Chain A
């Protein structure tokens, strides 16, 4: 009778170990997580059932994402690549335009769309707008056959990351316009992969939150792709200001900060700090 309510307790040995290592590891002060997050963490560390429930919930979230980015093999087999790609884009709530036509096929907020695109089995897609959708690396499998793609906009997509950018090499000859602004997971490593898109003429890298040196990255991108016009707005290029210092000190600090950010290898630096912290912990 009391058994169903008695949740399985966990031993706390590894919990304290984990907490100890995390305390020594973070050298930057982070804000305390919210009450709900702390509550969930406490519960999951003391009860196996809560831990399993949390694992299931993250698995369900991943499943939702995977279902959005299924490979429409059946459609491809029966109706051809172009129709499959078109159906995929419309099911993601994006929009596209066929080559040689001027009207866009879009799906509205509720997911309903016009089925006229089924009449154009042999026209390839020229412009794709999947901004603010859940497209990711596996979803690109549906667009692999579109060798005539000229414009791609993935602005504001939360699942577009560096691996997605590295896969864009399939459009290396034809892609002319790429919009990857406001994607929270893109960093410099992915932008380096855009080097393969030799036909690119317009690139929009505005407001990428993970870019630490946006001005420098924009310049390097322009050097890397000489025929391409790079747009990088939405960044704060001002120097950081610490209110307790004098102006002279601020200027010196700002100069050293810019130099340190650009010239010192950031990876080695964090690694040395972490290794030092780790050695102190043991």
Chain B
């Protein structure tokens, strides 16, 4: 440090030599004129030029503030308000939102090329779907896009310290358990499992099929009654800690200069451009100009002037879309199609079973819809189930229904794993899926009528495991104009307009 400081001092002194010689001349003139005892020694000259340097620096900063586009305002403003201008506003600070923010900063070509603002409603993340998730990642999907997304995300997580390490901070530890997913199929759905298996192998996922005898040999604690076929993931499958991934993205993105704001987006100011189709129908094209961000527990809001808005609000994405008027047009036009994402409550129960399966427990998904996985080393397990369409619970709160476990989950668990006949529920929580009611797959891309709103939502329970790859795809779409590494054009809004669902058959 002292070496640098010394160099800096000599640089400044060298810089000042030209000025100083001129000044000494002036000083001596003054000296003869007024015969004052002026001390022209080295220390006084140095202090003077130090002050001069500071004055120049202050001048440069003031000039930069006076330029348009700077953040200077004459009024004293609340520190927690977002900046007045941002290039890209990401609505939603979950793992998908922060992943997009990180990749946008990673891909910008010049320093401070894009100003990214992430707006999150809940500072404590107490109701965010990311942290309430079971944290699994699997490649066993039926749609090739989903398989590729999972594989790319697993590759990212394998090299996570190359991507997300910050200088002088601890390395990222996701606590990834490589135990794999085990799907069980009854006779009715065995053919679907075989088709999915061939799709997965074709896409490059490492999956193997097991017969009931092989299953019993590998996992002696399973009751293979009713199981005709099982599909076991060999690599890149398991579960991890979602909070660590979220924090890793957040820490790295903030260190790269992403602005974070805790507030709620309550409205947009947009301009409308009405155009007429060949048949004579009028279509409104909207362009967002300002996003109003309201501070928590306050009426104060800041209109953020922005170029692009990314809707990564998860379970609340449809509320954000409604603020733009998406879905309020005439019924059989594009403007009348709302964003088909709604929150669905799902429960997770933590159970303790002292004689349960050991370290080899995979993330087991039964054909009845019940799933469970090991949690820690002390005989704790996490279990849950997706309810039938008719029995969906209320979504106005996150209260847990314990009757659901007693009546629906426990019988299937005890049937599949006899050791679970004596267990005790120690804890439970509920979280929201951002459920895509159309076809249970993510919506990634731009809206056709609102040309600067991008969607990255509707993943229906597998948003966490796809988040690194979706973030990269969105950053490519925004900054490069199209998908470069993974082609997700099949997941765009177009399929909702043309009413062609791309159903995912393996939803848990």
Residues of A at the B interface (CB closer than 8 Å) are 1-2, 5-6, 14, 17-18, 21-22, 33, 37, 39-44, 48, 51, 54, 62, 137, 162-163, 165-167, 169, 187-193, 195-196, 198, 213, 216-217, 220-221, 223-224, 262-267, 271, 274-275, 278-279, 282
Chain B residues whose C-beta falls within 8 Å of the C-beta of A263 in the assembled complex = 352, 376, 378-380
Whether B218 is near chain A, meaning CB under 8 Å from some CB there, is yes
Chain B residues whose C-beta falls within 8 Å of the C-beta of A166 in the assembled complex = 178, 235-236, 238
State whether A41 and B167 are in contact (beta carbons under 8 Å apart), knowing that A166-B178, A166-B235, A195-B360 are contacts in the complex: yes
Whether A165 and B178, one on each chain, are in contact in the complex, defined by CB atoms closer than 8 angstroms, is yes
Interface segment out of the listed B249-257, B391-399, B432-440: B249-257
15 contacts between A and B (CB under 8 A): A1-B15, A2-B14, A18-B255, A21-B254, A43-B1, A62-B162, A166-B238, A188-B177, A189-B175, A190-B178, A192-B177, A213-B377, A263-B379, A264-B378, A265-B380
Whether B257 and A14, one on each chain, are in contact in the complex, defined by CB atoms closer than 8 angstroms, is yes
Q: How far is the CA of A21 from the CA of B251 in the complex (A)?
A: 9
Which of A5, A196, A282 is within 8 Å of B123, CB to CB?
Answer: A282
Shortest CB-to-CB span from A66 to chain B, Å, is 10
Shortest CB-to-CB span from B210 to chain A, Å, is 12
Whether A5 and B360, one on each chain, are in contact in the complex, defined by CB atoms closer than 8 angstroms, is no
Chain B residues whose C-beta falls within 8 Å of the C-beta of A62 in the assembled complex = 162
Whether B377 and A262, one on each chain, are in contact in the complex, defined by CB atoms closer than 8 angstroms, is yes
CB-CB contacts below 8 Å: B1-53 with A: 1, 4, 7-8, 11-12, 14-15
State whether A196 and B176 are in contact (beta carbons under 8 Å apart), knowing that A5-B7, A224-B358, A262-B377 are contacts in the complex: no
Chain B residues whose C-beta falls within 8 Å of the C-beta of A169 in the assembled complex = 206, 234-235
Q: How far is the CA of A174 from the CA of B257 in the complex (A)?
A: 51
CB nearest neighbor in A for B361: A192
Interface segment out of the listed B124-132, B187-195, B315-323: B124-132
Residues of B at the A interface (CB closer than 8 Å) are 1, 4, 7-8, 11-12, 14-15, 111, 123-126, 131, 158, 162, 166-169, 175-180, 206, 218, 234-236, 238, 241, 243, 247, 251, 254-255, 257, 262, 350, 352, 358-360, 375-380
Shortest CB-to-CB span from A9 to chain B, Å, is 9
Q: How far is the CA of A1 from the CA of B358 in the complex (A)?
A: 70
Shortest CB-to-CB span from A271 to chain B, Å, is 5
Q: How far is the CA of A192 from the CA of B378 in the complex (A)?
A: 14
Whether B254 and A18, one on each chain, are in contact in the complex, defined by CB atoms closer than 8 angstroms, is yes
Shortest CB-to-CB span from A45 to chain B, Å, is 8
CB nearest neighbor in B for A35: B1
Q: Which 5 A-B pairs have the closest CB atoms?
A: A263-B378, A193-B178, A166-B178, A195-B360, A189-B177
State whether A163 and B178 are in contact (beta carbons under 8 Å apart), knowing that A18-B255, A54-B167, A265-B350 are contacts in the complex: yes
Which of A193, A217, A264 is within 8 Å of B179, CB to CB?
Answer: A193
Residue among B178, B236, B376 facing the most chain A CB atoms (10 A cut-off): B178
Which of B124, B169, B236, B238 is within 8 Å of A278, CB to CB?
Answer: B124
Q: How far is the CA of A176 from the CA of B234 in the complex (A)?
A: 19
Q: How far is the CA of A163 from the CA of B234 in the complex (A)?
A: 11
Shortest CB-to-CB span from B243 to chain A, Å, is 5
Whether B235 and A167, one on each chain, are in contact in the complex, defined by CB atoms closer than 8 angstroms, is yes
Whether B360 and A224, one on each chain, are in contact in the complex, defined by CB atoms closer than 8 angstroms, is yes
Which of B7, B169, B178, B352 is within 8 Å of A189, CB to CB?
Answer: B178
State whether A265 and B7 are in contact (beta carbons under 8 Å apart), knowing that A188-B177, A220-B358 are contacts in the complex: no
6 additional contacts (CB under 8 A) given A2-B14, A271-B243 = A14-B255, A223-B358, A263-B376, A275-B124, A278-B125, A282-B262
Q: How far is the CA of A14 from the CA of B115 in the complex (A)?
A: 13
Which of B111, B177, B251, B254 is within 8 Å of A48, CB to CB?
Answer: B111
Shortest CB-to-CB span from A214 to chain B, Å, is 11
Whether A191 and B123, one on each chain, are in contact in the complex, defined by CB atoms closer than 8 angstroms, is no
Chain A residues whose C-beta falls within 8 Å of the C-beta of B169 in the assembled complex = 22
Whether A1 and B14, one on each chain, are in contact in the complex, defined by CB atoms closer than 8 angstroms, is yes
Chain A residues whose C-beta falls within 8 Å of the C-beta of B175 in the assembled complex = 187, 189, 267
Whether B1 and A41, one on each chain, are in contact in the complex, defined by CB atoms closer than 8 angstroms, is no
Whether B168 and A33, one on each chain, are in contact in the complex, defined by CB atoms closer than 8 angstroms, is yes
Q: How far is the CA of A165 from the CA of B236 in the complex (A)?
A: 11
Which of B11, B14, B124, B359 is within 8 Å of A279, CB to CB?
Answer: B124
Q: How far is the CA of A263 from the CA of B377 in the complex (A)?
A: 7
Shortest CB-to-CB span from B218 to chain A, Å, is 7
Chain A residues whose C-beta falls within 8 Å of the C-beta of B177 in the assembled complex = 188-189, 192
Chain A residues whose C-beta falls within 8 Å of the C-beta of B236 in the assembled complex = 166
Shortest CB-to-CB span from A178 to chain B, Å, is 15
Chain A residues whose C-beta falls within 8 Å of the C-beta of B255 in the assembled complex = 14, 18
State whether A192 and B8 are in contact (beta carbons under 8 Å apart), knowing that A221-B359, A224-B358 are contacts in the complex: no
Chain B residues whose C-beta falls within 8 Å of the C-beta of A195 in the assembled complex = 179, 218, 359-360
Whether B11 and A6, one on each chain, are in contact in the complex, defined by CB atoms closer than 8 angstroms, is yes
Q: How far is the CA of A178 from the CA of B375 in the complex (A)?
A: 26
CB nearest neighbor in B for A221: B359
Chain B residues whose C-beta falls within 8 Å of the C-beta of A224 in the assembled complex = 358-360
